[in-house]
Structure 1
Amino acid sequence: MMRVTILGSGTNLHPTRAAAGYLVRTDQTLLFDFGPRTLTNLLKTGVDRHAITHILFSHFHADHCSDFLTFFFDAQIVTKYQGGTRGPLTVIGPHGTERLFRTLFETLPGFTEPRFAVRFKEVSDRPFKIGDTTIRPRTVTHSPDLHCLGYRVEYGGKAVAYSGDSEYCENLVRLCGDADAAILDCSYPANRPGPVHLHAGQCGQVAREAAATRLILSHFYPLAERYDVTAQAAEEFGGRITKASDLMTIRL
């Protein structure tokens, strides 16, 4: 069985939701993105934060990565002063991942000389495995100055796709092809679209064209809360649609 817990379904300054973060449990415990306030929600799940061995980033806008700083600093304190231990940590992301984190580790107080092994893996459009779990990253269209990824996770005959931040693009449809669940960036309502993200109608369009079984709408800007984005997505997609909430768990 695969379980996906939504740690954050909002954006940087959403008044009631944490920003982007998704905990995926297969034979591994994987974290996809790590936006503001998602660490607090991770603690609420009861999962041992020190047992997380792989963190995968879609891109490096602050609403997808800033809680990593708190997570890592805490791990340093626990292992240095409180007698805690943890195994190696692998940080996975698009082009530029290693340079970004090595710069942080070289310059931020409390980050230099990690007390545990930290490995970096930059990925693009080739699948790889972590244990018995297959990860299929795919480049998506979001910010012109960043390499941005969506991820597909396959385990036990099930597949879940996560868009990261994305506009409508063919690569996103391919990422979600026949997925049991597609978790998509629903930043805007269909009647109030904005730049570099999907709106609710496009989320439905992607799910329909990909023949996904279930659509999970997430990554809401506050504007999206003022409209029935589920109904807007349903105009394009006839399958099951769920509006994400923080700490919701999807079992596949």
Structure 2
Amino acid sequence: MTRRLTRLATSLGASAVSAVVVITMTTTAAQAGTTFTPSGGPNLTFVGSYDRPGDAPDAGIVPGFLLTDIDIGQSFNCSSVSVAGPVVNSGASRAYHANVAQLSGQAAGCTNPFYGATTVTFLGTWGVTITGDPANGQWPAKLTNVKAKLSAVNCDIYIEGYVVGRFDTTTQVFAPAGNPVAGGATSSAPTGLTIASTPAPPTGSMCATLDFQAGDTIAITGTFTNVPPPGSMPLTLTSP
């Protein structure tokens, strides 16, 4: 009973933080525009990298990213991650929240301290969109329709939702909420990702051992840099 009450308090705390993150990102200076225009491409390739928690402060950035179940403090780190796809109607103006690109990708070299080797499979086609006016060259942005499956020994977990963040047109970096995170620290900022109940809640005896549950909040440590493939240009954004 004590463990469940603690978990409930943690979950409520995570929900409160999530609300603060979303409110903060959506109640900044009054939005002046209603449309934007993406240009560049025709293709994008976002490559993940992060300042690995636990490394010395000067250890530097490594490829990949980290997924953390905030409710139970369990993380999965991957040594390689990328999502890529075409810009949608480059040069055409559109309303905020309309798709900029359609992305699919993969992660590799994923592990968990308890399970060991873990397979992380990205599912379906993700979207990327701009959600408001820029500030200091950074545009509020969101990855949408984000879905993935994590498979370890006797444990399968589905993740779904979205990832709120910001895109810097100068550096070509998409930074999820709470990033970048300094070495030796972890990010606990919700982005909009949770453990899904469909197509199935966490399944397998080892999922139960660590108490993974549908509805758990997932954080991301890492940023994603657009590295245009040969023949493509960086992504630019203008108003309107």
Q: Same fold (TM over 0.5)?
A: no
Could you say which structure has the higher strand fraction?
A: 2
* Structure number with higher relative contact order (C-alpha < 8 Å, ≥ 6 residues apart): 2
- TM-score for both structures, normalised by structure 2: 0.26
- TM-score for both structures, normalised by structure 1: 0.26
